[in-house]
Amino acid sequence: MRTIESLGSLTSRTVIVRCDLNVPLSDGVITDDGRIRASLTTIRELREAGAKVVLISHLGRPKGEPEERYSLRPVASRMAELLGAPVQFVAETVGDEAAAAVAALNDGDVVLLENLRFNPGETSKDEAERRAFATQLAAYGDAFVSDGFGVVHRSQASVTDLAELLPSAAGRLVAGELEVLRKLTDDPARPYTVVLGGSKVSDKLGVIAHLLERVDTLLIGGGMLFTFLAAQGHSVAASLLEADQLDTVRGYLAQAEQRGVRIVLPTDIVVAEAFAADAAHETVAADAIESSSFGAAGIGLDIGPETAAAFAAIIADSATVFWNGPMGVFEMEAFAAGTRTVARALTETNGFTVVGGGDSAAAVRALGFADDQFGHISTGGGASLEFLEGKTLPGLEVLA
């Protein structure tokens, strides 16, 4: 994969950097700046090399037209604070204002253009429309650096097309993510444990199938655990259930047994009366969820303390741990204990630990853990999973 060195001297050259600055916002306030911090290494290096830096990114899922709630303006302000240097914000992606701002850049200057997805060409399925938008972006730069790992699994104008139109290379964030993921797939230190959570089994089908050939232990939590319990014949009351995946899950359980891979399911569950932060709740055995006070109306919202302790013990004895997906509804304090215990276990083990982006990264920060307490926190949950599934990521393929 081409790296920044392949671009030669960058002094006085305009470099377009595709970042992933898709940070969570609440009333216009950034609630987790992890992705902004992760982008700084590449930006600082380019500035020090004398490049004129043009940052581009998406935020949220606007429908191809401007929406103020998805503006990158707050990101520019926060990035300037973290960078310790001005970051000019331009309220358009392509147009006269953007062109003038780029033309006025001096060596080491940084400008952030508005949300790429305000233009329908960014995510268009029409190759010609995508390429036309990428061509407009390419006119601003002399080189392109791909540093938004969270989007490298997408064929989009700013990810794949732009990389083909300009001399291109991977930024330090993308290169670092790839190095970590290769440690998880090529020759991981053993015992190798993967912790999977999140709401749906269907979101993890490919990665489960691929990992059964590679891991020693799979720990299953989150909403997806109820489909596993149901596949074993247990009632899950009103908990989240993907009935159409029961046969698939039974197949995975059989494959795991044949391969000698441990799939560890919860032995106790925190069941609530309703999906609400203040709902009445209690802990019951995983094979007796309907025995709770709420009967068939009970909803499982977290793994229980016995399960959390068992998961923590397995993690402690592992040499490599990959975690993707919270163990429960961590946003509600009453149902955050399982996720918190797993996160703490990752910080305390001597093994190599990777938090697989997305909700997992948000969870560890929301629960008060620091990034440097883990071996690595990925900036791309979907991209990480697709890599671990063995899929080809188009945003990396164009940099080969």
Binding residue positions? 20-22, 35, 58-61, 117, 154, 204, 300, 331, 357-360
Q: Which of 2, 44, 200, 391 is catalytic?
A: 200
Catalytic residue among 358, 375, 380, 381: 358
Of the listed 34, 375, 382, 395, which one is catalytic?
A: 382
Of 18, 35, 52, 340, catalytic: 35
C-alpha 312, offset from chain centre: 23
Any catalytic annotation for residue 395?
no
Q: Binding-site residues for (2R)-3-phosphoglycerate, please?
A: 35, 117, 154
- The answer to whether residue 69 is catalytic is no
Tell me if residue 328 is catalytic: no
Q: Is 78 left (phi over 0), alpha (psi -120 to 50) or beta?
A: alpha
* Binding-site residues for ATP: 204, 300, 331, 357-360
Q: Is 358 a catalytic residue?
A: yes
Q: Which residues are catalytic?
A: 35, 200, 358, 382
